[in-house]
Structure 1
């Protein structure tokens, strides 16, 4: 049944006369009468009878009004939903990110994005970086954020930028009095290392290997949140990215800039065999801009401090441990 015939029936039941119903639909009376006849023929029911010069709804019409109202509301809701999808105000996205990113920066952005688009549903998942890529390649996720670069069939990958590494120490640690922690400061220190699974460990290890600095690697974990929990309990120190550091309990953990600079690269993955929706494209476009703004803010605060300290260190070198 055409939606127009539903509108005709509803207008006739609400207005009571052909003239008033035709006027409400902005059509002529002959057109109104013709469409009422078409509706009755299609349903094979007599819906209106002539009484005293006017059409009066039959008991069959009265019995149908509830169903017609529900059908009318359903079509209206469908049109509204289609308009929302077209205007990117409705839809669903599945986003998967490495745990520290999902719990910090992506959580910040998703909260902001959904506040601006109340009818949108976003499923945010935390997985290790290799699993992020698997989910995206398999089409389980529309967007993946990983800390490793691993091009493979089934995905497109783009570099978003980098996060700066910082040092997390127990709040009462002797080194917490320093404004910055240098690699040599951690010689012989109990060290909580990130597992190789996310690629972060190799970047941190390279810094210490270049300077032949030994640490007491007593614990490893694949998650920065776990590393912070261990630091808070005095188990050692850790090098994590600046976003993960925002999860620290600052009553128990001290966060300090770290030199030499360690960069944690961030990559966005997209399914290669899935056409992105308009909502997906808007999310990605806005997230690129948001992350760029975040990095600019971080550079304005962290980078100048590191540069200043690095220059000071060059001018007045300190003695290293023997």
Structure 2
């Protein structure tokens, strides 16, 4: 049975209430009476078959379902704004704009270096570098929000073309004064008693790390869970613990007082650039691939030699 499509006004009302945390403030912002706003939310709740808000000690409190819906509404709204800006850019005749995305693993180190090279080459006049979560990559490409996406995860879609840029293993990142800092390699057994800053089991990094641990016959014990590599590196810098990342994320980490040690017998992690085959291939895509490939290979080779 197909559900009736939600109206834009319903989503606007819900989003405004979530943003203001008040029926009164939301009604004032939307230019409607509070009773009419309450009726609209009740109709939305009836349509969805769930409660969105509750009154607790006189306060309007969103339910867990409302929080999850709001997160998705904000994600789609952000994508809509990105698309709108891209349309205006085209309308202005700004043909020298190159927009691309990346997930955090490559966005921390490789993308800034590649963007610097693109600037020197004069690939475009204006650049938009979007940071994406893995789940947003497919829509970003299919809806033409950017020319390509660089990530360490594959995208299984028949209209998405994937180019492998480079491959590397996992590394253990520790402070430069850590007891392990002088080792050439480490194993999961070596760090078994260290506080590990790591990722959920279903994330891209979590899957790579757990597979490596299985090769050594041990289970991963995580002390601090994070979502992004930037957080993992920051926490290591603060001496909270150590972390395991793909080698791309840890390039030049010694500049921040950290040391990246290769993990023995780790899985191989590849860096990819994805494009949508349904759209014309921009010149900047191939320039970005070349820059990422050269920088990744040179940086990893240099780090291994140190």
Q: What TM-score, normalized by structure 2, do the two folds share?
A: 0.61
RMSD of equivalent CA atoms = 2.7
Residue 104 of structure 1 is matched in structure 2 by 109
What displacement does 1:194 show?
Answer: 2.6
What displacement does 1:249 show?
Answer: 6.3
Moved more, 138-147 or 238-247: 238-247
Question: Which of 157, 166, 178 pairs up with 1:161?
Answer: 166
Contact 2:105 2:151 in 1 (8 A): no
Aligned-partner Cα distance in 2 for 1:247–1:125 = 22
**Cα deviation 1:166-194 (Å, max 9, x = unaligned):** 11113333222323222220123211113
SS in 2 for 1:161: strand
Residue 195 of structure 2 is matched in structure 1 by 190
Aligned-partner Cα distance in 2 for 1:119–1:215 = 44
**Cα deviation 1:105-155 (Å, max 9, x = unaligned):** 122111221233286211001112222232112211111112111222553
Contact 1:93 1:142 in 2 (8 A): yes
Superposition misfits of 4+ residues, deviation over 3 angstroms: 195-198, 246-252, 298-305
Residue 201 of structure 1 is matched in structure 2 by 206
Aligned-partner Cα distance in 2 for 1:296–1:237 = 25
Structure label with greater radius of gyration: 1
2:99 aligned with 1:94, yes or no?
yes
Moved more, 96-105 or 154-163: 154-163
What displacement does 1:94 show?
Answer: 1.1
SS in 2 for 1:231: helix
Residue 132 of structure 2 is matched in structure 1 by 127
Residue 286 of structure 1 is matched in structure 2 by 287
Q: What TM-score, normalized by structure 1, do the two folds share?
A: 0.59
Aligned counterparts, 1:9-20, within 5 A? none
- Quickly say closer, same or farther: Cα 1:217–1:271, change in 2 above 3 A: same
2:224 aligned with 1:225, yes or no?
no
Question: Which of 103, 114, 120 pairs up with 1:115?
Answer: 120
**Cα deviation 1:202-254 (Å, max 9, x = unaligned):** 11111112222244311222211110111112222111122221364655433
Aligned-partner Cα distance in 2 for 1:171–1:300 = 20
Query: With CA pairs under 8 Å and 6+ residues apart, which has the higher RCO, 1 or 2?
Result: 2
